[in-house]
């Protein structure tokens, strides 16, 4: 079903699992509301749209998920703060190695050593490792039919000691 609406003619069993998590089809008849993102199973329906595609139930769910995925987890925020202080320090050490060494010895040798210090100590791999891990975990869960709303949720899962699922399997 393309957008939210009300059934004006027909009856059918609708698969609302994408919206509600309920795996059992729901019987719908004239006068009942239907939601974008659900699947018509058994009958023919005439539906009067009550929302545009930008403002329907599915669009709202997508918006909520997108917002949640933009939230940064504690580890990612820490790593960004760390890198914002560590990177200038690495650069300062590299410049110091080049200048002090260059004053004492051959400039070419010490410029090469300074570049080595900067490249070896740069936190790029460390900073990018957390978002890449989040994307890999969220993608892997998605392929298994599990919707994870972002890195914050992944971090919170590490502290879970007991999980309880209702009959629909949604949390």
Kindly list the catalytic residues: 166
Please name which of 49, 48, 50, 43 lies closest in space to residue 10, comparing C-alpha atoms: 43
**Residue 62 host element (H or E):** helix 57-70
Please name which of 55, 56, 13, 22 lies closest in space to residue 168, comparing C-alpha atoms: 22
Contact (Cβ atoms closer than 8 angstroms) between residue 150 and residue 138: yes
**Residue 140 host element (H or E):** helix 124-143
Dist. CA 80–CA 78, nearest whole Å = 5
The answer for residues whose C-beta is within 8 angstroms of residue 49's C-beta and 6 or more apart is 3, 4, 5
Tokens describing residue 88: 């200038």
Dist. CA 28–CA 44, nearest whole Å = 11
């Amino acid at each position: 079903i393309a957008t939210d609406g009300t059934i004006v003619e027909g009856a059918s069993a609708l698969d609302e699992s994408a919206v509600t998590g309920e795996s059992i089809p729901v019987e719908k008849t004239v006068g009942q509301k239907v939601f974008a993102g659900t699947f018509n199973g058994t009958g023919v329906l005439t539906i009067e749209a009550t929302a545009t595609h930008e403002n329907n139930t599915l669009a709202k769910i997508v918006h909520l998920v997108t917002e949640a995925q933009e939230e940064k987890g504690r580890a990612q925020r820490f790593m960004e703060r760390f890198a914002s202080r560590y990177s200038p320090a690495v650069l300062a050490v590299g410049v110091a190695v080049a200048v002090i060494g260059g004053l004492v010895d051959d400039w070419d040798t010490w410029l090469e050593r300074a570049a080595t210090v900067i490249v070896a100590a740069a936190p790029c791999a460390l900073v990018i490792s957390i978002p890449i891990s989040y994307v890999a975990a969220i993608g892997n869960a998605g392929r298994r039919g599990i919707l994870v709303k972002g890195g914050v949720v992944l971090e919170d899962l590490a502290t879970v000691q007991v999980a309880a699922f209702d009959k629909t399997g949604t949390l």
